[in-house]
């Protein structure tokens, strides 16, 4: 039976063996929720990059550029880190370059060793679970966390995916079991469950409560973003 494991932050990724493992990166508030939304709304590709400079360089080549640091848009870029910004008609068919505090770093770390890298969010939970069932590989959910620390929303997502896949995958490791139990504890009211988390407090100070509510909705989209070379594209 295949295994599903959870890595609570990219700072623990060195403890995981990734050969023949599909890594699902989750940065619920808000990078991977943006990615899923953008690809669902017709964005052609999203290139995650580690630095603001790389993002700038792709912008000069004609990409729409999204750069977030500490939850705020970096000046001179085209897009902030709100999923609602990715619903724009101007982005249909476009290529986007994106760098964020935590999410794109996790993707960069994962792609060094994983057999495939996919992007997960509550927004595409069911589609992603179906895709993973149809693959032959073990799964590691990599929570982007916040500056190396575990966070609640990404752990809850990992738990949701573990719960969805528990009949097809073994949950052997404590991180996976803990995430699953936390999700089951909070699933009837995710918004309430994360209300006093550190990131929600941080985002609420920025007045983006609607991004939070939106990103906690399950199964809005059927899209599964997968990394092809340096680009995330919709799997089909």
| CA angle (62 as vertex; 61, 67 as ends), nearest 5 | 90
Q: Which one of 18, 175, 183, 232 is in contact with its own copies (CB under 8 A)?
A: 175
Instruction: In whole angstroms, give the CA distance from residue 39 to residue 92.
Output: 9
Q: How many residues bind its own copies, per CB under 8 A? A: 28
Q: Does 148 bind its own copies (CB under 8 A)?
A: yes
Residue indicated by tokens 């017709």? 42
On the 0-12 / 13-18 / 19+ scale of CB atoms within 10 A, 93 is: exposed
> Can you name the residues that pair with 24 across neighbouring β-strands?
118, 141
Contact call for residues 10 and 144 (beta carbons, < 8 A): yes
Contact call for residues 116 and 226 (beta carbons, < 8 A): yes
Instruction: In whole angstroms, give the CA distance from residue 145 to residue 98.
Output: 17
Window 4-33: residues binding its own copies (CB under 8 A): 8-9, 11-12, 14-15
**Which CB sits closer to its own copies, 83 or 186?**
186
Quick one: which segment of 46-54, 67-75, 89-97, 142-150 binds its own copies (CB under 8 A)?
Answer: 142-150
Contact call for residues 179 and 158 (beta carbons, < 8 A): yes
Q: Does 101 bind its own copies (CB under 8 A)?
A: no
Window 198-217: residues binding its own copies (CB under 8 A): 198-199
Q: Does 166 bind its own copies (CB under 8 A)?
A: no
How, if at all, do strands 2-7 and 169-170 pair?
Answer: parallel
Q: Which one of 69, 149, 166, 228 is in contact with its own copies (CB under 8 A)?
A: 149
Q: Which one of 181, 191, 206, 228 is in contact with its own copies (CB under 8 A)?
A: 181
- Residue 121 CB, shortest distance to its own copies, in Å, is 18
- Residue 151 CB, shortest distance to its own copies, in Å, is 5
Contact call for residues 44 and 93 (beta carbons, < 8 A): yes
| CA angle (30 as vertex; 29, 33 as ends), nearest 5 | 110
- Residue 146 CB, shortest distance to its own copies, in Å, is 8
Instruction: In whole angstroms, give the CA distance from residue 44 to residue 211.
Output: 23
Q: Which one of 17, 70, 130, 185 is in contact with its own copies (CB under 8 A)?
A: 185
Q: Does 191 bind its own copies (CB under 8 A)?
A: no
Q: Does 159 bind its own copies (CB under 8 A)?
A: no
**Which CB sits closer to its own copies, 36 or 156?**
156
Q: Which one of 33, 99, 101, 155 is in contact with its own copies (CB under 8 A)?
A: 155
Site residues, its own copies (CB under 8 A)? 8-9, 11-12, 14-15, 146-152, 155, 172-175, 177-178, 181-182, 185-186, 196-199
């Amino acid at each position: 039976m295949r295994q599903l494991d959870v890595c609570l932050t990219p700072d623990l990724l060195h403890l995981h063996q990734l050969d023949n493992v599909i890594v699902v990166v989750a940065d619920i508030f808000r990078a991977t929720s943006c990615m899923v939304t953008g690809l669902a709304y017709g964005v052609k590709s999203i290139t995650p990059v580690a630095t603001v400079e790389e993002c700038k360089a792709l912008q000069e080549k004609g990409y729409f550029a999204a750069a977030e640091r500490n939850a705020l848009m970096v000046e001179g870029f085209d897009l902030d880190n709100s999923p609602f910004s990715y619903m724009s008609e101007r982005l249909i068919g476009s290529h986007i370059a994106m760098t964020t505090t935590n999410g794109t770093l996790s993707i960069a770390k994962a792609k060094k060793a994983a057999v495939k890298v996919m992007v997960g969010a509550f927004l595409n939970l069911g589609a992603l679970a179906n895709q993973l069932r149809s693959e032959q590989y073990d799964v590691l959910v990599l929570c982007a966390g916040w500056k190396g620390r575990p966070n609640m929303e990404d752990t809850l997502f990992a738990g949701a995916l573990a719960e969805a896949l528990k009949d097809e995958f073994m949950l052997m490791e404590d991180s996976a079991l803990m995430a699953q139990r936390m999700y089951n504890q909070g699933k009837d009211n995710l918004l309430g469950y994360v209300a006093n988390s550190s990131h929600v407090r941080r985002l609420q100070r920025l007045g983006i409560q609607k991004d939070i509510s939106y990103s906690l909705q399950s199964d809005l989209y059927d899209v599964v973003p997968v990394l092809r070379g340096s680009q995330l594209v919709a799997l089909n």
